[in-house]
Amino acid sequence: MTYIAKPKLHHPQLPANDLGYKRRDYEGSVSTLCAGCGHDSISAAVIQACYELALPPHRIAKLSGIGCSSKTPDYFLSASHGFNTVHGRMPSALTGANLANRDLIYLGVSGDGDSASIGFGQFAHSIRRGVNMTYIVENNGVYGLTKGQFSATSDRGSKSKKGVVNHDSGIDLAAMALQLGATFVARSFSGDKSQLVPLIKAALSHKGAAFIDVLSPCVQFNNHTGSTKSYDHVREHNEAVNRLDVIAARKPIVADYEPGVTLAVKQHDGSILNLHKIHGGYDPSDRAQAMAFLNQRQLAGEIVTGLLFVDPEAEDLHDALGTVDKPLNALGDAELIPGAAALEKLNASLR
């Protein structure tokens, strides 16, 4: 983490969003990551998305694990709640926080090591439980912080900086999220801001487990020839399934869209995703097709980016558990301590 704070002074003529906040109000400390690290571009996209959605910073809770990627919440949303957990444990800390206070907007930030290795089980269970969150993996195919060991998302046959060949199969986290029941699944590239910002906005507007796998080249350990997560490789093999923008219900936008088939997806909170499909027939509401398409393009050596799947009517963990609308941490003694008579009645029903 860094101790270098950004100057508080704002230019008075900087544009403000609907809440009167400027983009600077969504920033964090000065990044200490390597110059050119893809993770910094993702931080900039998070800042832009939250600014454009006019989210109140104090209503966001950002959680992460350990890694260069997991350091990034220090570099955005300094006015939000934050919790840097143990390596791979972000999902369970986020699940607990979400259960205690459903009124916050939860943003989980993780790395491929954090989520696909030590935290693989945590990732899986938070997704399958439908925790209402935006879960971003900043995927560089290495353990960046600990000097470039292969991670579980490194592709079989890719080479480390020292020339060692990876013989293990790589895990596709977007495919895993689809299989596990995530109700919003997308993939993007840190260097593609025009795709990434709308995807983050859409994920933040989605009710349920929203997962975004963001390929994010590590300029120190995974940007060499042979790496499938380098800038050059992704730019050459990127196949976008759709172009999209998010129209929040409270802020209608007229956007300049490219010609093509449009699919308007109404989300649970009323916001609309306007999808301009590059491939005729790609339908992001079809989970089975999304899984088949990912596999098919992967075999052809292509990286599919864009919104892969969304269920606009998704329910979340609170719906499944039937919790009260009021955040549990705001309940008083009267609601939390039902008394001896109620306890006796409950015990009797179990006898």
Ligand X SMILES: Cc1ncc(C[n+]2csc(CCOP(=O)(O)OP(=O)(O)O)c2C)c(N)n1
- Interface positions with Mg ion (CB under 5 A): 111-113, 140, 144
Question: Considering the rule CB under 6 A, would residue 142 count as an interface residue with ligand X?
Answer: yes
CB of 235 to ligand SF4, least distance (A): 17
Determine the distance from the C-alpha atom of residue 141 to the mean position of all C-alpha atoms in its chain, rounded to a whole number. 17
Question: Considering the rule CB under 6 A, would residue 66 count as an interface residue with ligand X?
Answer: yes
CB of 269 to Mg ion, least distance (A): 32
Instruction: Please name which of 49, 89, 44, 57 lies closest in space to residue 70, comparing C-alpha atoms.
Output: 89
For residue 313, which amino acid is it? Answer: E
Question: Considering the rule CB under 6 A, would residue 312 count as an interface residue with ligand X?
Answer: no
The site partner of 66 among ligand SF4, Mg ion, ligand X, none (C-beta below 5 to 8 Å per kind) is ligand X
Binding residues (CB under 6 A) for ligand SF4: these are 33-34, 37, 39, 68, 140, 144-145, 218-221
State how far the Cα of 149 lies from the Cα of 218, in Å rounded to an integer.
12
Ranked by CB distance to Mg ion, the top (closest) residue is: 111
CB of 193 to ligand SF4, least distance (A): 17
Binding part of the chain for ligand X, among 99-107, 144-152, 163-171, 338-346 by CB under 6 A, reads: 144-152
- Binding positions for ligand X, 118-137, rule CB under 6 A: 118
State how far the Cα of 201 lies from the Cα of 197, in Å rounded to an integer.
6
Phi, psi of 4 (to 5 degrees): -85, 105
Show the site string, 92-121: x = touches ligand X by CB under 6 A, - = not. -------------------xxxx---x---
Write the CA distances from 190 to 38, 129, 137, 215, integer angstroms.
Answer: 5, 28, 11, 6
Binding part of the chain for ligand X, among 10-18, 73-81, 141-149, 308-316 by CB under 6 A, reads: 141-149
Q: CB neighbours (10 Å) of residue 297? A: 16
Binding part of the chain for ligand X, among 10-18, 63-71, 269-277, 302-310 by CB under 6 A, reads: 63-71
Tokens representing 20? Answer: 């009167």
91 or 144: whose CB is closer to ligand SF4? 144
Residue position matching structure tokens 């093999």: 237
Question: Considering the rule CB under 6 A, would residue 140 count as an interface residue with ligand X?
Answer: yes
Question: Considering the rule CB under 6 A, would residue 306 count as an interface residue with ligand X?
Answer: no
For the chain, the first-to-last Cα distance in angstroms comes to: 55
State how far the Cα of 203 lies from the Cα of 127, in Å rounded to an integer.
13
72 or 305: whose CB is closer to Mg ion? 72
65 or 113: whose CB is closer to Mg ion? 113
Question: Which residues have C-beta within 8 Å of that of residue 113, sequence separation ≥ 6?
Answer: 67, 87, 142, 143, 151, 152
Among 67, 217, 284, 312, interactor with ligand X by CB under 6 A = 67
Provide the total of helices (H) and of strands (E) in the chain, helices listed first. 12, 13
Question: Considering the rule CB under 6 A, would residue 185 count as an interface residue with ligand X?
Answer: no
Total number of residues binding ligand X (CB under 6 A)? 18
For residue 252, which amino acid is it? Answer: P
* CB distance 266 to 252 below 8 Å: no
CB of 4 to ligand SF4, least distance (A): 15
**β-sheet bridge partners, residue 244:** 275
CB of 40 to ligand SF4, least distance (A): 8
How deeply is 250 buried, as exposed, middle or buried, from its count of CB atoms within 10 A (0-12, 13-18, 19+)?
Answer: exposed
Q: Site residues (CB under 6 A) for ligand X?
A: 66-69, 87, 111-114, 118, 138, 140, 142-146, 151
